[in-house]
Amino acid sequence: ETGVTQTPRHLVMGMTNKKSLKCEQHLGHNAMYWYKQSAKKPLELMFVYSLEERVENNSVPSRFSPECPNSSHLFLHLHTLQPEDSALYLCASSQDSKRSAYNEQFFGPGTRLTVL
Amino acid sequence: AQTVTQSQPEMSVQEAETVTLSCTYDTSESDYYLFWYKQPPSRQMILVIRQEAYKQQNATENRFSVNFQKAAKSFSLKISDSQLGDAAMYFCAYRRGFGGSQGNLIFGKGTKLSVKP
């Protein structure tokens, strides 16, 4: 595997289910991101793990819970979601440094989530 | 707060012709980076071109070039000799100067580009 991979590619779940999205990066990066892509809206950054700090968008509901056990893996745990949470969830990674003037983000193919 | 605006939800271009996608942004920062990302129907987002705000010279990558107007806070993408494979959603994005939590990308809503054969 190369680049950034995401599983599953498609997920359909009910509002009472608990599921997890997985992201893995094979690029040796030290930062990982979760984005939500809804129709006709800008990509919304949900969570960042970068330089050992976690940053979250305060508008993200608590029914989304990230986990980053190491620099190569990132999870997004989902529970009691709502239909409006249906979207494409994109994972990205980058090589980040407080001294670096530039860090390109590499994206995974996304997980298409449908909440019934 | 920084914002990125793409005023063209959809654009169309004839194969082999040139098209320009618009992007404006708002920031009070002096040190930042601008990007154009392409998202084909397969959904894998890829970087097309980037521009450092401190550089006056416009970035170019083969058939892709930008017109960066810092004072006007404008960052348009020009695609020359358009090809069928250029059909995709194009996102303009902004990032502050350095990494860590300051390095987060802010995206525009995107422009859907269609290429006619």
Chain A hits for B3, Cβ within 8 Å: none
**pLDDT score of B63:** 97
Nearest beta carbon to residue B99 from set A45, A50, A106: A50
**pLDDT score of A57:** 78
Closest residue in chain B to residue A101, using alpha carbons only? B98
Query: Is the pLDDT assigned to residue B38 strictly greater than 90?
Result: yes
A58-100: per-residue pLDDT in tens?
789 999 999 999 989 999 999 999 999 999 999 999 887 666 5
Average pLDDT over residues B92-111: 78
Residue B117 CA, distance from chain mean position: 23
Average pLDDT of the residues of chain A: 89
Yes or no, beta carbons of A108 and B44 under 8 Å apart: yes
Yes or no, beta carbons of B52 and A101 under 8 Å apart: yes
Report the distance separating Cα B42 and Cα B8, nearest Å.
22
For residue A68, give the nearest of A53, A49, A51, A55 by alpha carbon. A49
